């Protein structure tokens, strides 16, 4: 979406992208251009080829040393786990599938090293960019990082993408076509207000680092690097996934209010976090955090969480290929130690679909979302699955672990996964390893699981409803498809009735139900989920306090009546209308910024477009 109007002789432009890291930032723009290199495709004399190959290999060594230095800096600033992002770059520099074609280009085509790097890596980048998999497209940033470092090293100049300054620069909003981890680590944090990029997604390395640094970021803006000028002012809404170039007075007043609410909420954390998430009539709702990186475990308790409801273990695999059992054990142990004695739910590898992991997922599936993914990958690659289960069990000695199997669609899948779990447990016990009891659960995220939820409930210790996929599969709606994204409706009667059915079956067997999809963090949905009897809600850490405010402002009996009422309604529009009429003013009075951002700010901007 784009809108323009004159403001002090500057164009006002509104762009919507991906909410990569929450928070708000307003300030001047610092635009980062991609470095340009001189290239020449003319052939070298045969006598010069050996020297040119050595020149290239020296550049590889130089680039590797620079990446090692960046890894060290990142470890000092953010922690060792974040520094592992650079391991993928080092692996590429040692990968024969990357280096050999460049060397062959020098030897056989008599290309100079710069042209060999340019032509070979450009072709590989194009292949990744054309992939149907979002995670593959995002990995092009790693290849671009290698591309830029090698060319800079061949120029016998520093390969730092950003100029270094002896004097601190003015805090600015960084805008670029793309940002790589190396570029980010070359900027001092006190010089950055936020980030806005043309490309990238929530799972890109830059988004992960931005969240770890607690800096607002919006990615996937397509053309902000073209629209923006160096003397522009920029407002970044990392919570709602929107930026405004040269905002007018009305924009600034509105967002200053939201920023004030956001900052006030952060200040209130140290008092609010001690309060119980309990309704006015005494119903306790457990609030957990969703995390993607072990380092995020350091702060979830400060946000008022009482545990982790979803740790997405596949991020270890995205960032390092296939981590060893020891590396996995260390990562899981770190989280469990930090949260002990609170529970930590770790989801086993959920690869495939839009989450492609090198050497694991099938890259050329016609319909990857319904293909070889998630638990199906694990039950096929039992060696991989056993190693992860072993690591989880070894780590369980450090805290309160719950293991969760994703995308279960049949009783056979669940039983096979459990059998492998008990096989690994028995082996460790036979080796003399003392292990605590570990709860085992499964995700309810496909309609097949809902239809047999009574049977599944007898087999597990807990359920976790993954509403993102459940909605997508139930309504046959790909929410990333702009043509039908408006049909992705959490309050569709079919979705609400599936959640209700799952809760009823779980409670009949005496097991708890958690909702860990984005639906749990939406204020109106929170009220419905609590009313339906959901025991636990798990969400991004920064949403927990808002959710706690809502829960502490209502009576359980009232939201139960609300849930009964909406279950009888025929359309999502009826449900939404009813919920807004009943709770809108209360939510606004509470200053729930996520609701106001998504419901009260975006729509007026669209009208002004």
The pLDDT value recorded for residue 364 is 55
Give the C-alpha distances (Å, rounded to integers) separating 575 from 181, 492, 565, 567.
Answer: 43, 8, 9, 9
Cβ-contact 562, 528 below 8 angstroms: yes
Grade residue 68 by pLDDT with cuts at 50, 70 and 90. Answer: confident
* Cis peptide bond prior to 341, omega within 30° of 0: yes
Grade residue 213 by pLDDT with cuts at 50, 70 and 90. Answer: confident
Determine which one of 205, 400, 491, 492 is catalytic. 205
Comparison of pLDDT for 603 and 227, the residue scoring more: 227
Query: Each residue of 31-40: pLDDT tens digit?
Result: 887 666 778 8
User: What is the residue-averaged pLDDT of the chain?
Assistant: 83
| pTM of the complete model | 0.70
445 is in an annotated binding site: yes
The answer to whether residue 531 sits within a structural domain is: yes
Say whether pLDDT at 607 is over 70: no
The answer to whether residue 595 sits within a structural domain is: no
In angstroms, the CA 229 to CA 404 distance is 48
Within its chain, how far is the Cα of 350 from the centroid? 13
The pLDDT value recorded for residue 31 is 87
Regarding whether 243 and 104 lie in a shared domain, the answer is no
Q: At what angle do helices 49-78 and 140-154 cross, to 10 degrees?
A: 120
Q: What is the CATH number of the domain that holds 107?
A: 1.10.274.10
List the end-to-end C-alpha distance of the chain, in Å, as a whole number: 8
The answer to whether residue 157 sits within a structural domain is: no
What is the total count of domains within the chain? Answer: 3
Regarding whether 401 and 334 lie in a shared domain, the answer is yes
Task: Please give the average per-residue pLDDT across 217-233, as a whole number.
Answer: 85
Of the residues 105, 122, 152, the one at which a domain ends: 152
Comparison of pLDDT for 133 and 448, the residue scoring more: 448
Grade residue 138 by pLDDT with cuts at 50, 70 and 90. Answer: low
Of the residues 109, 128, 152, the one at which a domain ends: 152
Q: What is the CATH number of the domain that holds 173?
A: 3.50.30.10
Regarding whether 400 and 312 lie in a shared domain, the answer is yes
Task: Please give the average per-residue pLDDT across 596-605, as a whole number.
Answer: 39
Grade residue 94 by pLDDT with cuts at 50, 70 and 90. Answer: confident
Regarding whether 441 and 474 lie in a shared domain, the answer is yes
Closest to 373 in 3D by CA, of 394, 350, 392: 350
- Number of separate helices (H) and strands (E) present in the chain: 26, 18
Regarding whether 247 and 355 lie in a shared domain, the answer is no
Give the C-alpha distances (Å, rounded to integers) separating 407 from 121, 370, 444, 537.
Answer: 36, 10, 7, 19
Query: Each residue of 270-286: pLDDT tens digit?
Result: 667 788 999 999 999 99
76: containing domain? 46-152
The answer to whether residue 553 sits within a structural domain is: yes
Regarding whether 254 and 110 lie in a shared domain, the answer is no
The pLDDT value recorded for residue 430 is 97
**Main-chain phi, psi angles of 606, to 5 degrees:** -65, -35
- 516 classed as catalytic: yes
- 442 classed as catalytic: no
Of the residues 95, 119, 152, the one at which a domain ends: 152
Task: Please give the average per-residue pLDDT across 502-510, as a whole number.
Answer: 98
Say whether pLDDT at 182 is over 90: no
Regarding whether 202 and 108 lie in a shared domain, the answer is no
312 is in an annotated binding site: yes
The pLDDT value recorded for residue 387 is 96
The answer to whether residue 71 sits within a structural domain is: yes
Determine which one of 442, 514, 516, 547 is catalytic. 516
Grade residue 260 by pLDDT with cuts at 50, 70 and 90. Answer: confident
The answer to whether residue 608 sits within a structural domain is: no
The answer to whether residue 323 sits within a structural domain is: yes
Regarding whether 447 and 362 lie in a shared domain, the answer is yes
402 is in an annotated binding site: no
- Per mean pLDDT, which range of 305-314, 429-438, 459-468, 475-484 is the poorest? 475-484
Regarding whether 91 and 125 lie in a shared domain, the answer is yes
How does strand 10-11 pair with strand 6-7? antiparallel
Stated length of the chain: 609
Grade residue 79 by pLDDT with cuts at 50, 70 and 90. Answer: low
Regarding whether 531 and 408 lie in a shared domain, the answer is yes
Regarding whether 193 and 52 lie in a shared domain, the answer is no
Regarding whether 438 and 520 lie in a shared domain, the answer is yes
Task: Please give the average per-residue pLDDT across 238-260, as a whole number.
Answer: 86
In angstroms, the CA 471 to CA 491 distance is 9
469 is in an annotated binding site: yes
Grade residue 263 by pLDDT with cuts at 50, 70 and 90. Answer: confident
Task: Please give the average per-residue pLDDT across 321-335, as a whole number.
Answer: 89
Q: What is the CATH number of the domain that holds 378?
A: 3.20.20.60
Closest to 355 in 3D by CA, of 317, 401, 405, 411: 317
In the chain, the percentage of residues whose pLDDT exceeds 70 is: 82
Query: Each residue of 519-554: pLDDT tens digit?
Result: 888 899 999 999 999 999 998 887 888 899 899 999
DSSP class per residue in 67-122: HHHHHHHHHHHH-HHHHGGGHHHHHHHH-HHHHHHHHHHHHHH---HHHHHHHHHH
Say whether pLDDT at 78 is over 70: no
390 is in an annotated binding site: no
In angstroms, the CA 16 to CA 2 distance is 8
338 is in an annotated binding site: no
The answer to whether residue 136 sits within a structural domain is: yes
């Amino acid at each position: 979406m784009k809108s323009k109007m004159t403001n002090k002789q500057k164009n006002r432009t509104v762009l919507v992208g991906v909410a990569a890291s929450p928070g708000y930032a307003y300030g001047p723009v610092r635009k980062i251009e991609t470095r340009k290199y001189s290239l020449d495709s003319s052939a070298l004399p045969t006598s010069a080829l050996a020297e040119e190959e050595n020149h290239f290999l020296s550049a590889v060594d130089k680039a590797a040393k620079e990446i090692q230095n960046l890894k060290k800096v990142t470890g000092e600033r953010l922690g060792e786990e974040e520094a592992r992002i650079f391991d993928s770059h080092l692996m590429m520099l040692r990968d024969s599938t990357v280096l050999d074609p460049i060397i062959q280009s020098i030897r056989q085509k008599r290309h100079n090293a710069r042209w060999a790097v340019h032509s070979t890596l450009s072709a590989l980048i194009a292949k990744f960019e054309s992939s149907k998999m979002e995670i593959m497209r995002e990995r092009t940033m790693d290849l671009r990082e290698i591309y830029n470092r090698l060319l800079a090293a061949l120029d016998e100049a520093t390969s730092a993408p950003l100029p270094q300054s002896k004097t601190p620069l003015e805090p600015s909003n960084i805008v670029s076509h793309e940002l790589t981890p190396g570029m980010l680590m070359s900027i001092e944090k006190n010089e950055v207000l936020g980030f806005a990029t043309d490309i990238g997604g929530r799972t890109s390395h830059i988004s992960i680092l931005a969240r770890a640094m607690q800096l607002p970021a919006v990615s996937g803006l397509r053309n902000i690097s073209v629209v923006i000028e160096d003397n522009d002012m920029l407002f970044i809404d990392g919570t709602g996934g929107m930026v405004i170039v040269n905002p007018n007075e009305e924009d600034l007043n509105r967002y200053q209010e939201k920023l004030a609410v956001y900052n006030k909420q952060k200040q209130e954390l140290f008092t609010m976090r001690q309060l119980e998430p309990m309704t006015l009539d005494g119903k306790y709702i457990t609030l957990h955090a969703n995390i993607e990186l072990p380092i995020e475990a350091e702060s979830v308790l400060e946000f008022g969480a009482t545990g982790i409801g979803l740790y997405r273990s596949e991020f270890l695999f995205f960032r390092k290929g296939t981590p060893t059992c020891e590396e996995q054990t260390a990562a899981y142990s770190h989280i469990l130690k930090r949260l002990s004695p609170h529970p930590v739910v770790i989801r086993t590898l959920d690869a495939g679909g839009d989450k492609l992991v090198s050497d694991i997922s099938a890259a050329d599936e016609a319909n990857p979302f319904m293909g070889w993914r998630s638990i199906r990958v694990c039950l096929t690659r039992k060696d991989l699955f056993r190693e992860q289960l072993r690591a989880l069990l070894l780590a369980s000695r450090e805290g309160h672990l719950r293991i969760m199997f994703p995308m279960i669609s049949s009783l056979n899948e669940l039983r096979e996964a459990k059998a492998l779990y008990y096989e690994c447990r028995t082996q460790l016990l036979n080796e003399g390893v003392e292990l605590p009891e570990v709860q085992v659960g499964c995700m309810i995220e496909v309609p097949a699981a809902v239809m047999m939820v009574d049977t599944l409930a007898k087999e597990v210790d807990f359920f976790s409803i993954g509403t993102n996929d459940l909605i997508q599969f139930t309504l046959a709606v790909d929410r990333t498809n702009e043509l039908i994204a408006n049909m992705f409706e959490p309050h569709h009667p079919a979705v609400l009735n599936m959640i209700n059915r799952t809760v009823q079956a779980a409670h009949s067997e005496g097991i708890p139900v958690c909702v860990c999809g984005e639906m749990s963090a939406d204020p109106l949905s929170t009220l419905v989920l609590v009313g339906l009897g959901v025991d636990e809600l798990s969400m991004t850490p920064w949403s927990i306090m808002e959710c706690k405010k809502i829960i502490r402002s209502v009576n359980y009996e009232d939201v139960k009546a609300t849930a009964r009422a909406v279950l009888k309604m025929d359309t999502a529009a009826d449900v939404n209308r009813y919920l807004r009429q009943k709770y809108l003013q209360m939510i606004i009075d509470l200053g729930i910024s996520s609701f106001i951002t998504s419901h009260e700010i975006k729509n007026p901007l669209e009208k002004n477009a």
